[in-house]
Amino acid sequence: MSDQYESVIGLEVHVQLKTESKIFCSCPAQFGAEPNQNTCPVCLGLPGSLPVLNERALELAMKVGLALGCRISDRIKFDRKNYFYPDLPKAYQISQYDMPVSSKGHLAIELKSDAGTLAEKRIGITRAHLEEDAGKLLHEGVRDGSWVDYNRAGIPLLEIVSEPDLRSPEEAFQYLVSLKAILQYLGVSDCNMEEGSLRCDANVSIRQKGAAPFGTKVEIKNMNSFRAVHKAIAYEIKRQSEALETGTRIVQETRLWNESKGETFTMRSKEEAHDYRYFPEPDLVPFSVSSDQIEALRKSLPELPQARFERFRKQYGISDYDAYVLVAEKALADYFEACTREGANPKLASNWIQSELLALINLKKHSIKNLPNLPPKHLAGLIRLIENGTISGKIAKDVIVEMYDTKKSAEEIVKEKGLIQVTDTKLLEEVADRVIQANPKVAAEVRSGKAQAIGFLVGQVMKETQGKANPKMINEILTKKITSQK
């Protein structure tokens, strides 16, 4: 994007709330059942059926509102949003129109500068309202028509709408990361974009930098990962900037993201937009929520990512960035804390989790949430061996792979394979002498002041000891021997 433009982005996130049963009936709300198995007259919208609010869904919605610093409505009212589509069994969605359960909150996101430091930015939350999910159309393998699966119809959804405070694809991405973290800490949603338990639409416009009025807004749908949201917004900003530069008019419309082509395309124009004919849902009587109930919920909130971030920095002395990365994924932070409870050095634990462990998990396509291959106790054991000099970091990288594959502890593997670090000074001095003798030129370079040349000699000693030598000790011995040969 040319420097003269600024992008203005707002996100609408739909989150499926993790309740046992659906929002207006007692059907199970679980993902993955046989088509239309989790249905009843209510969620099928059969004539005569009536909705009854699942209070658990409201409770989870209010928890999210509280975590986002929202004002919680003391009156709960639902409305009907009318439109025709085969996945919507009643031809209206029960939603909240003018009285959302939560409004006027904010979400803090962390942005990494070029220098690597983090800066906080507050993104306004306009509202978060409760509604029911629709069913799903199935086209694949169906001839002459489509099938409808209503298992998803009636799953509670929370639609969280941000203010147009985001200014770049990266900010939008970080907004999703922070929001997901909060939702996971609250335990209210699986936040799985691929399974559809978290969905995101983006409103994107651009304007002259510093110009107050917003440009024409385009809504983008159909992104199925945070990465896709990032890419789709970036694409849209580029498309709109080019349009402005070439004098093409930007039309207000809804566009769909095509992941394989990496571009957005027109779905419907503003003129084709629905008139949803909202009106109060007569089947659900509005009711009041007392401030005592709201306060009790507030007190029940768990530690949230921001508080945990502050605590990690202070309690463990790790860097802002490390704390941020660990905290952003609740399971990762939980794993880290479990390691420290097992006695691991926090800094080492943080490093090993973020580098070696995550690489292994990604490689094996496992999840940090459920990791029988490498329980925190085992990682803590490995770190202890590194710290007390029993094995080198280099050896440890092999050991962790072995641990992962065999589910054995570090101690077992080190003992079995004889990997204990050589710290016998006499033995190391003999090897050092041999290496210096065999490489007189390198030794001379070191002596003449080219300090980094010693690395080669250290490598040779490691080679002779099959990597078991303590690198720090070798370094000291080699330096002493070479400089004393002056």
Partner 1 sequence: MELYELTLKQAQEFLAKNPNRKDELTKTLADRIKQVDSKLNTYINFDSKHAQKNGDVKGPLSGIPVSIKDNIVTRDWETTCASKILKGFVPPYDATVIRKLREAGAVIFGKCNMDEFAFGSSCETSCFGPTRNPWNLDFVPGGSSGGSAAAVAGRTAIAALGSDTGGSIRQPASFCGVVGLKPTYGRVSRYGLVAFGSSLDQIGPITRTVEDSAILLNVLAGHDEKDSTSANVPVPDYTSFLTKSVKGLKIGLPKEYFVKGLDPEVEKAVKQATSVLQDLGASVTEISLPHMKYAIAVYYVVAVAEASSNLGRFDGVEYGFRHESSNLRDMYFETRNQGFGAEAKRRILLGTFVLSAGYYDAYYLKGLKVRTLIKQDFDQAFQKVALVLGPTAPTPPFRIGEKMSDPLSMYLSDIYTISANLAGVPAMNVPCGFSAAGLPIGMQLTAKPFDEGTIFRAGSAYESATKWHEKVPKL
Q: By CB under 8 A, name the one of 20, 242, 283, 433 that touches partner 1.
A: 283
Question: Nearest distance from residue 153's CB to partner 1, in Å?
Answer: 11
Q: By CB under 8 A, name the one of 4, 82, 351, 475 that touches partner 1.
A: 82
Does 148 interact with partner 1 (rule: CB under 8 A)? yes
**Cβ neighbours of residue 210 under 8 Å, at least 6 residues apart?**
6
**Quick one: tokens of 117?**
């430091």
Helix (H) or strand (E) holding 76: strand 75-76
Q: Whose CA is closest to 174, among 67, 308, 309, 324? A: 324
- CA-CA distance, 414 to 483, in Å (whole number)? 35
- CA-CA distance, 101 to 66, in Å (whole number)? 10
- CA-CA distance, 290 to 76, in Å (whole number)? 11
Shorter beta-carbon distance to partner 1: residue 79 or 322 = 79
Question: Nearest distance from residue 212's CB to partner 1, in Å?
Answer: 28
Does 91 interact with partner 1 (rule: CB under 8 A)? yes
Does 440 interact with partner 1 (rule: CB under 8 A)? no
Shorter beta-carbon distance to partner 1: residue 47 or 247 = 47
Binding mask 293-322 for partner 1 (x = CB under 8 A): ------------------------------
**Quick one: tokens of 232?**
């789709």
Of residues 26-55, those binding partner 1 (CB under 8 A): 41, 44-53
Does 277 interact with partner 1 (rule: CB under 8 A)? yes
Q: Please identify which residue in the block is written with the tokens 């609740």.
A: 330
- CA-CA distance, 288 to 74, in Å (whole number)? 6
Provide DSSP, 180-236.
Answer: HHHHHHHT-----TTTTSEEEEEEEEEEETT--S----EEEEEE-SHHHHHHHHHHH
Instruction: Give the DSSP letter of residue 38.
Output: S
Question: Nearest distance from residue 322's CB to partner 1, in Å?
Answer: 50
Could you tell me which stretch among 213-221, 247-255, 275-283, 369-377 binds partner 1 (CB under 8 A)?
A: 275-283
**Cβ neighbours of residue 21 under 8 Å, at least 6 residues apart?**
27, 28, 29, 54, 56
- Considering CB under 8 A, how many residues would be counted as binding partner 1? 29
Does 90 interact with partner 1 (rule: CB under 8 A)? yes
Does 144 interact with partner 1 (rule: CB under 8 A)? yes
Could you tell me which stretch among 178-186, 274-282, 442-450, 459-467 binds partner 1 (CB under 8 A)?
A: 274-282
CB 51 within 8 A of CB 94: yes
Binding mask 371-410 for partner 1 (x = CB under 8 A): ----------------------------------------
Does 284 interact with partner 1 (rule: CB under 8 A)? yes
3-class SS of residue 411 = helix
Shorter beta-carbon distance to partner 1: residue 46 or 296 = 46
**Quick one: tokens of 397?**
């990288």
Question: Nearest distance from residue 140's CB to partner 1, in Å?
Answer: 17
For CA atoms 356, 358, 362, 366, give the dihedral sign: positive
Does 92 interact with partner 1 (rule: CB under 8 A)? yes
Does 285 interact with partner 1 (rule: CB under 8 A)? yes
Question: Nearest distance from residue 273's CB to partner 1, in Å?
Answer: 10
Question: Nearest distance from residue 291's CB to partner 1, in Å?
Answer: 23
Q: How many CB atoms neighbour CB 279 within 10 A?
A: 12
Helix (H) or strand (E) holding 253: strand 253-258
Shorter beta-carbon distance to partner 1: residue 10 or 89 = 89
Binding residues vs partner 1 (CB under 8 A): 41, 44-53, 80, 82, 84, 86, 89-92, 144, 148, 275, 277-279, 282-285
